[in-house]
């Protein structure tokens, strides 16, 4: 499912393959996100959880 979300939303080339919306909230992603369409800010922090953590929590229940 995480792979599907990455393929659906597109690969983030700014992070060497780590996709912020998939891995936000983990120790893999700490800073850097798109603040608006095509505007990447390497110092911005996204407060949303990534799809990986959401799916992990659902599977752990």
Query: Residue 2, class by beta-carbon neighbours within 10 Å (0-12 exposed, 13-18 middle, 19+ buried)?
Result: middle
What's the total number of domains in the chain?
Answer: 1
In the block, which residue shows the tokens 């998939």?
22
pLDDT, position 13: 60
Question: What residues make up the domain containing 17?
Answer: 2-60
Could you tell me the pTM of the whole model?
0.67
Segment-wise mean pLDDT, segments of 10 residues, the chain, 61 residues: 78 66 83 84 87 90 86
């Amino acid at each position: 499912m995480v792979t599907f979300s990455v393929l659906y939303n597109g690969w983030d080339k700014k992070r060497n393959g780590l996709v912020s919306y998939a891995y936000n909230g983990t120790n893999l992603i700490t800073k850097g996100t798109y603040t608006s369409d095509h505007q990447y800010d390497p110092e911005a922090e996204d407060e949303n959880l990534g799809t990986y953590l959401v799916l992990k929590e659902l599977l752990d229940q």
